[in-house]
Amino acid sequence: MNRSRWRGRFAAAQVAALAAALLAVVAPTPAYAADTVSCAAQTSFFAADTTGRLWRYPVNSPGSTSLSFSARSQIGNGWQTYGRVIGGPGGRVYGINANGLYRYRWTSSGWEKINGSEGQRISTGFTQFASASARNKITVDERGDFYAVDGLGRLRTYRYDEAAGAWAFSDRLLDTGWGRFNLIVAAGQGVLFARDATDGRLYRYRYDADSQRWIDYHQSLGTGWNVFTKGVVSAGGDTLFGIEASGLMAQYRFREDNNTWVVLRRTISTSGWQSFSNVAAITNACTLTASHVPARPAVPVAQYAAASVTQANSNSIELAHTDNIGRLLHGRMSPDNFSSLQLTAVSGSEGFSGVPAVSENTQNLTRITARNINSDVWTRTQSAAGSPGWGGWADLGGRMATNPAVARLSDQREVVFAVDAGGALWARRQDPAHADLLAWRKLGGSGLTGTPVAVPLANASALVVVADSAGTLQAALYTGGTLGAWTSLGGSGFTGTPAVVVMPGYRLRIFSRNSVGRIAATERRVDGTFTGTWTPVGGTGVVPAGAPSALLSPVTGRIGVYVRGTDGYIHYAAETAQGSGTWGAFIPAQDAFETYATDPTAFSFVNANGANVAYLARTPAGSLRLYTVQEPTSWIAGAARARTTSASTERPVFHRHVLPPPPPVD
């Protein structure tokens, strides 16, 4: 057989096999609008050869099968000093060497000069990406955002503000596990293609920097991409151009709306590109005009939102709440001296709404997580343990329709949950090795409307409970960054955020206000199943006006349920015995004729006298009241004695404590 003919047939077979692999392995994706790609009539590729000469190649019709090259021209020398050259939007070209990252910009009249210089060093970092092992692990999208995989396999993003001459954000962590990829390339605003180093499989992602969400994640687009050993570049708009060792350049364009390759391995040059050490493209020559930025849901300032309370490892009681004008207030006090409360506004000029989450990170620093009235989730962390100071606010994005829920799992990693305007549950989980939170990932669900409750369980898992649009509570197990199947807890018409109590063996009692306005409870068994039935709590003598708060008493082992009635008073119902699941009638939970405007928040704490039970509420004037609960000593003696004790002697005593007032409005 003629050897040249055999080589031609073999090459054709390789091309056919690669094309078949690409077409066969594309997985389903969410539906989008019709293809709306828009491309410039002409753009530029830049190629640096081994002698340092930089060449500009005019590219005509870059997004279509009519693509062609015009005559090239030399536009620079000395580019061999850069181990990596990458393209950016608007004619920007970036060079990376041992001294840092340099920015250039090509215009129709030549290189743009700033202060007489064509190149400006914009960072002394990024030097690792000039090395052979990391040079393909950095890219720039059509917006000008940098994406890079660090030495630990973590994907990070950066944005340079040219007008300010500074980085708008830097080292923002998006994901882990990207060490498996040996090449990433941006092909649109937040669109990333990543090549697996093992089998050459290509994956597509879409990240929205405004909401900090992963819109599309880890979509497999086929194998065989390891043939492009000289790199892959993009002109934006889901275009890709792969370069083989032989110098062949192949053109691709993907359509996310129908999940197809509309340009599939079209050879646009059979050779010549092998002589270049770096090839770059202008990254916004093609754009997708369809927006993938989630709309911001309206967030009115919630009136009389309840507080969150926890006891820190430092022993202080930490509390936070929003007021009726959107201030976020934080309080810290000694468990032995409630008058020591220092209540300060930590919101600055920002506005917040709803119930914030108060947690503690792995460095034992108090953290407040709350929903800004712009719909993003914000977080602020104590500057040092025991310090009254705070670090700056961190905007976690999200554009969420509900308040956040925060859970610290048994592996000490935090996870933030929230529901979007479309009724789906999202999460940001903590990096395994650092305090950073990864980008929002969609977990699933539909028609969800309530604020989620996240309850840490064994094996670094959490149960998420949230109401849907029918008022039915749904529950799902979160583990390993993914969510299991949803289970309906039965019934409908439930309102408000449910309260969940964890019992030994990770059994759960869940409390909510039902369709007839009464408090009811259901149970999650030790095997993880639910009873599917709801038991009335507290009788019919009190009409609840809000959501319940429930607590397993560390003193008596009984669950107490607290609720604000339509009369404005706080009421309390307790289990008739430890673990009985039956309930006494609601009784007044206060020692003064004072009405309250917020739902109560029950909590336990430890002071010099041992374990205690308490709840917190606010008056219509915004004043804080803390009630300590003195449970009957007969309850402590055990369930057997409690059942034989006269009901008239079984009432707890509630002691009111007037806390220092909130600070005046600036």
pLDDT at 423: 98
Contacts of 106 (CB under 8 A, 6+ apart): 44, 46, 56, 75, 91, 92, 93, 112
Banded pLDDT at 32 (limits 50, 70, 90): low
Q: What is the pLDDT of residues 228-259, one digit of tens each?
A: 999 999 999 999 999 999 999 999 999 998 98
**What ranges in 59-101 are assigned the alpha helix state H?**
none
Residue 369 has phi, psi (to 5 degrees) of: -125, 125
Banded pLDDT at 592 (limits 50, 70, 90): confident
Banded pLDDT at 649 (limits 50, 70, 90): low
| Tokens encoding 377 | 């989730």
Identify the structural domains of the chain with CATH numbers, from first to last: 3-288 (2.115.10.10), 489-666 (no CATH)
Contact call for residues 376 and 396 (beta carbons, < 8 A): yes
pLDDT at 435: 79
Banded pLDDT at 23 (limits 50, 70, 90): very low
DSSP 504: G
Q: What is the pLDDT of residues 405-464, one digit of tens each?
A: 999 999 999 999 999 999 999 999 998 777 789 999 999 999 999 999 999 999 999 999
N residues, the chain: 666
Task: Quickly tell me which residue has 């928040």 as its tokens.
Answer: 601
Look at 16-20, 57-61, 351-355, 446-450 and tell me which has the smallest mean pLDDT. Answer: 16-20
Contacts of 90 (CB under 8 A, 6+ apart): 105, 144, 282, 284
Contact call for residues 281 and 43 (beta carbons, < 8 A): yes
Q: Which one-letter amino acid corresponds to residue 433?
A: A
Please choose, from the candidates 93, 81, 88, 83, the residue with its C-alpha nearest in 3D space to the C-alpha of residue 55.
93
Q: What is the pLDDT of residues 388-405, one digit of tens each?
A: 899 999 999 999 999 999
Q: What is the pLDDT of residues 484-506, one digit of tens each?
A: 999 999 999 999 999 999 999 99
Residue 101 has phi, psi (to 5 degrees) of: -110, 130
Look at 36-40, 93-97, 320-324 and tell me which has the smallest mean pLDDT. Answer: 36-40
Handedness of CA 7, 13, 18, 19 (dihedral sign): positive
Look at 129-143, 448-462, 638-652 and tell me which has the smallest mean pLDDT. Answer: 638-652
**Which helix (H) or strand (E) covers residue 635, if one does?**
helix 633-636
Banded pLDDT at 648 (limits 50, 70, 90): very low
Asked if pLDDT for residue 30 goes beyond 70, the answer is no
pLDDT at 493: 97
Q: Kindly provide the b/e burial profile for residues 53-83, where b requires at least 16 CB atoms within 10 angstroms of the residue's own CB.
A: bbbbbebeebbbeebeeeeeeebbeebbebb
Contact call for residues 476 and 492 (beta carbons, < 8 A): no
Banded pLDDT at 36 (limits 50, 70, 90): confident
**Which helix (H) or strand (E) covers residue 6, if one does?**
helix 3-25
**Which helix (H) or strand (E) covers residue 428, if one does?**
strand 425-429
pLDDT at 389: 92
In this prediction, residues 153-171 reach a mean pLDDT of: 97
C-alpha 284, offset from chain centre: 27
Q: Which one-letter amino acid corresponds to residue 361?
A: N
Q: Which residues does residue 261 pair with via DSSP β-bridges, in sequence order?
A: 254
Question: Which one has a higher pLDDT value, 388 or 607?
Answer: 607
pLDDT at 29: 52
pLDDT at 289: 85
Asked if pLDDT for residue 31 goes beyond 60, the answer is no
Handedness of CA 665, 393, 292, 46 (dihedral sign): positive
pTM: 0.92
Please choose, from the candidates 495, 525, 522, 496, the residue with its C-alpha nearest in 3D space to the C-alpha of residue 511.
522
Contact call for residues 322 and 639 (beta carbons, < 8 A): no
Please choose, from the candidates 379, 456, 449, 308, the residue with its C-alpha nearest in 3D space to the C-alpha of residue 464.
456
Q: Which residues does residue 320 pair with via DSSP β-bridges, in sequence order?
A: 308, 330
DSSP 19: H
